A and B are shown apart, each in its own frame.
Chain A
Amino acid sequence: MDRVIEWITARLARQQVVAYALLDGEFQVLEAHGLENVVDPVQGGENSSLWEHFPALIGLEDRLHEIVALPEGVLEIPQIISRQPDGTPIYYNLRVEAIHEFGARLLIFALDTTEQSSLEQQLVQQRNELRLNIEARQRAEAALRQARDELEIRVRERTLELEDANLQLQALPRRLVDVQENERREIARELHDEIGQVLTGLNLLLKMSTRLPAETARHNMEEARGLVHELMKKVRQLSLDLRPAMLDDLGLLPALLWHFDRFTAQTQIEIQFKHAGIDRRFSSEVEITAYRIIQEALTNAARYADVREISVRVILNANALGIQIDDRGKGFSPEAVHPQGVSVGLASMRERVASLNGSISLDAALGEGVHIHAHLPIRE
């Protein structure tokens, strides 16, 4: 055995060998030294075989048989890490060589590369940390780019909104004049066509009565009374259209119920009305705004929607009045109605709502009906 050790020592003299083993053709250990330096104890098992001494060779059994068969067969596994009991790493290259001395077939030895591998580990550590820093920086830059892009998109959207609002603001005085002129025109037409004509008829009737026999004059007076009655009715109607006294006297809910009855009688369109919390008084501004929004929406629906039914909901929440008006009629394309997508009626609604710091939205499309939602803050 001394001769074997002497031979192995001479064979490995120039190399920093930390462990070795000499094996026969059946992979039985003939001689071994320093294996405890390179083999960690197995977790949960016990060392019992060659493969326990050289776990790095598990899975390479076929390759070992090939090496045994070759005159100068070699297998090398570089940079295996093992740890001393105090945790200090040892790096070694495991080398398997075919030999034909002393009945042995394989010489397995571990060459210590700790010094150079430790230096390499430090370099790799620095390189990897640098790469991780670069990756983190790239991720941060990408996140910044994305945030900047999103901000630019929001700025563009906000700019467009501001431009649109500015256009609407510029158009507001003209629209208000339009609204005012429309109302005046309507009143003038009512006065001329309806009331003026009745008054003319009444005037003629009264003039003629002075020249007629008493019996005929009495008949004319009856007719004149009928015209006066009709005239009073028209004046009341006109007055109600301008501002229903019921709204001021009794409040929103009675005024709406009265308006719905009148609307249905005139148009044959049923109103599905749901309400909550509005059987009380609100400020005059809130009541007239809510009333006008609903009045305008119903008038538009009667003119354009071609429906038999309209849904109106007025709900009082904690600090606001929510109004929802829906019809399932023809609908319309908002852009087609007005260049900025805003009709005079809706503009009027918006102005009223804005003055209360509320909001209003109109959702309409051809064939999809019209859906109006308003939110009116109330001040107690």
Chain B
Amino acid sequence: MASYCIIMTMTRTVQKKICLLGDFAVGKTSLVRRFVYQRFEEKYQSTIGVNISRKALQLNQHEHMQMVIWDLAGGEEFSGPQANYIKGASGAMLVCDLTRAITLSTLRLYAADLQAASPGAALVIVANKSDLVAQRVLAEAQLAELAAELQAPLFMTSAKNDENVEAAFATLASIIA
């Protein structure tokens, strides 16, 4: 009588909500579009409300993550029904624009809003538009200071040139997994 050895591989899939927060025109939608659809559009299109995308990630041999990405309008105030935008988030990307100094200072406010709505949510700081070298105004030291203050990893990205985008999302996924 033949004997059989049956090997069953259990795969776990987790679903996690993350938000992209930051001022208008810092490139949040471009980062999501690059990460999820591998596309980039030069034309600036303002986001209102929330654009929800999803991407399945393989964390390791036995774990998958379905990342639900909330791309929120820049300058949003998270009060009233809008508070639900950031409730239940496991993590967030705080996105600033390397060519506009003001976009860095507001990230502290977004971080505070997120911690109030979703305590313990993980953070990753993303300084976008690294391709615009000549127009850059934010120094690495300023970014590092905020990263240290919020205890968050820091990434310099270019959604246009596909630099570090995957790494930023992958890092956030590994933290919240």
Contact = CB atoms under 8 A, between A and B. Distances in A.
Interface of A: 40, 42-45, 51, 55-56, 58-63, 75-81, 91, 117, 120-121, 124-125, 128-129, 131-132, 135, 139
Contact of B89 (A59, A80, A124, A131): A59
B46 A59 contact: no
B112 interface: no
B55 A58 contact: no
Contacts of A80: 49-52
Interface stretch (B78-86, B125-133, B146-154): B78-86
Contacts of A75: 84
A58 B55 CA distance: 13
B110 interface: no
Contacts of A59: 16-17, 68, 87-90, 118
Contacts of B53: 40, 43
B105 interface: no
B24 interface: yes
A57 B89 CA distance: 11
Interface of B: 15-17, 24-25, 36-37, 44-57, 64, 66, 68, 73-74, 81-82, 84-85, 87-90, 100, 102, 118, 137
A50 to B, nearest CB: 11
Nearest to A55: B68
Given A120-B48, A128-B46, A58 B17 contact: yes
Contacts of A63: 84, 87-88
A55 B52 contact: yes
Given A60-B88, A77-B84, A44 B25 contact: no
A132 B50 contact: no
A63 B48 CA distance: 24
A60 B56 CA distance: 19
Given A80-B52, A121-B48, A43 B37 contact: yes
Given A43-B37, A55-B54, A63-B87, A79 B48 contact: yes
By DSSP majority rule, is chain B's interface helix, strand, loop, or mixed? mixed
Contacts of A132: 25, 44
Nearest to A124: B46
A58 B102 CA distance: 32
A121 B85 CA distance: 18
Nearest to A57: B88
A124 B66 contact: no
Nearest 5 interchain pairs by C-beta: A79-B49, A59-B88, A45-B56, A59-B17, A44-B56
Given A43-B54, A43-B56, A79-B48, 7 more contacts: A40-B53, A42-B54, A42-B56, A78-B82, A81-B49, A124-B73, A128-B46
Nearest to A91: B49
B15 A51 contact: yes
Nearest to B84: A77
A78 B49 contact: yes
Q: Which of A58, A60, A129, A139 has the most chain B CB within a 10 Å cutoff?
A: A58
A76 B81 contact: yes
A128 B50 contact: no
A116 to B, nearest CB: 10
Contacts of A131: 24
B81 A78 contact: yes
Contacts of B15: 51, 58
A80 B84 CA distance: 12
A6 to B, nearest CB: 29
A81 B52 CA distance: 7
A109 to B, nearest CB: 15
A125 B74 CA distance: 11
A76 B24 contact: no
Interface centre among B54, B82, B85 (most CB of A within 10 A): B54
A266 B62 CA distance: 93
A132 B74 CA distance: 13
A121 B50 CA distance: 12
A76 B84 CA distance: 8
A81 B68 contact: no
Contacts of A135: 100, 102
A329 to B, nearest CB: 44
Contact of A45 (B25, B54, B102, B137): B54
